[in-house]
Amino acid sequence: MPSLDLSTSSIELTRAICDIPSVSDDERTLADAITDAISSLAHLDLYRDGDTIVARTDTGKAQRVVIAGHIDTVPINNNLPTRVIDVDGEPMLWGRGTVDMKAGVAVQLKLAAELVDPRVDITWMWYDHEEVAAHLNGLTRLAKTRPDLFAGDFAILGEPSNGDIEGGCNGNIRAIVRTSGVRAHSARAWIGENAIHKVAPILMRLSEYRPKTVAVDGLEYREGLNAVRIAGGIAGNVIPDACEVEVNYRFAPNKNSDEAESHMRDVFAGFDLEVIDVADGARPGLDAPLAKEFIAAVGGEPRPKYGWTDVARFSALGVPAVNYGPGDPHLAHHDNEQVPLSQIESVERGLRAWLSKS
């Protein structure tokens, strides 16, 4: 079994974690390595549920912070093992998972080992199946079996944020908009009704749609409504009787999923619409006392998180949460994933300084 040396630098630890493949549904080897690395740490109480690992300090501090990161990645595409490259004089660690989000996990593991008596009690969570359907997510499972482990006054998710604080996240809803017709031989098309042709108004509404930028608690969230898939057609000589357009709506956290669905139904009034996936967003949570202290310690200007992240799970449980991790989110899932070595070190310094502060 691969082993992890938590005494090494966060950069070397990132390389070691990335070089253990852990595509969603294949996290066991990395989860075992993490468990083995932290099981001997006397200051942490360890709990494991499948390939989700939770480690907690219990020093009796008045406040608790939850710090979480997922250990799975999207599929590998000739981008492992990792290597250090130079980009305009900046050393970068290249390879699958360096951005999303094993550099963040490496920083967390190193600090979990070294912070024996932090300023607040800490619950560390490393979980599986983040990159796939929500019902498979390790946090979804854990929330059902051990909701008590989510208790905290503030939460930090190590999603890539370029080493800056990103508050909250947009909500996400996917729906299928359908058209129907009548099958016929394409040589006698007038006998049938072409369902593919009938999606033209749907695409027109999407092309004319102007997404909003919505201010929520001091941060501006950009929305988006886009077609992401079209499916239709039977054979090269058949007029199709059905067509589907999958539409993705990223909505600002000033509205809930019911309001987002209502908006989609208004946009596509007159068409059959079925919601197939939905997740509420999360408000920034930057007015929480610990959040203010964290912002002051790390510095910089907080920004909004446009993509959905698991901060929404904590927000739904009443725990204010932010995203804070190394890596450019624009490179998440990109085959050219790469993270500046300086960002890994910077995020480690930021978290260490705040968590160690007396």
Residue entry with tokens 């908006």: 263
Residue entry with tokens 């604080």: 165
The residue count of the chain comes to 358
Six token digits for residue 84: 């250090």
d(CA 273, CA 155): 36
Task: Report residue 117: phi and psi, to 5°.
Answer: -135, 70
Q: b or e along 304-340 (b: 16 or more beta carbons within 10 Å of the residue's beta carbon)?
A: bbbebbbbbbbbeeebbbbbbbbbbbebbeeeebbbb
d(CA 87, CA 79): 17
What residue type is assigned to position 310 of the chain?
D
Which residues have CB under 8 Å from 225's CB, separation 6+? Answer: 206, 209, 211, 247, 248, 249, 250, 264, 267
Burial class of residue 188, CB neighbours in 10 A (0-12, 13-18, 19+): exposed
Q: Which residues are catalytic?
A: 72, 130
Distance between first and last Cα of the chain = 39
Strand partners, 279: 172
Closest CA relative to residue 121, chosen from 184, 45, 175: 45
d(CA 339, CA 253): 29
Output the CA torsion sign for 209, 250, 212, 332.
Answer: negative
* Angle, CA 300 vertex, CA 295 and CA 306 arms, to 5°: 85
